[in-house]
């Protein structure tokens, strides 16, 4: 099974980001493929390079970077949502890539399921 995940929530919406990363990890462990994780709306803020996340809080940015580094999961963020939130090519955390809705639309046609986390 091939999945495309979409995260709409900010980095501080711990449950949405945690649910998405937990789902991705479990799916990969069961032999499924995560084609990409697309950050949309406030989710684009997760790609800011200077996030200050307390050590006692879930670090969704790090969890996404770990998925990318360990399993090669592409982490895309919507260019328009990113610009609105101060994220651009020059101001982007490692492992994240700016993409448009065209890339998202193409990936959604290839995936068996698209799951949104809000």
Active site residue 116: no
- Burial zone of 105 (CB within 10 Å; 0-12 exposed, 13-18 middle, 19+ buried): exposed
- Which of these is catalytic: 17, 39, 77, 78? 78
Cα 98 to Cα 38, 59, 71, 94, 104, distances in angstroms: 9, 20, 19, 11, 11
Residues classed as catalytic:
78
């Amino acid at each position: 099974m091939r999945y495309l995940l979409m995260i709409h929530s900010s980095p501080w919406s711990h449950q949405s980001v945690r649910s998405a990363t937990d789902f991705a990890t479990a799916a990969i462990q069961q032999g499924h493929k995560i084609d990409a994780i697309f950050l949309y709306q406030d989710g684009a803020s997760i790609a800011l390079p200077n996030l200050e996340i307390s050590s006692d809080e879930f670090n969704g940015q790090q969890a996404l970077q770990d998925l990318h580094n360990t399993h090669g999961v592409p982490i895309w963020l919507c260019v328009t949502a990113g610009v609105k939130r101060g994220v651009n090519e020059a101001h982007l955390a490692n492992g994240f890539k700016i993409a448009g809705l065209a890339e998202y639309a193409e990936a959604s046609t290839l995936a068996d399921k698209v799951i949104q986390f809000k």
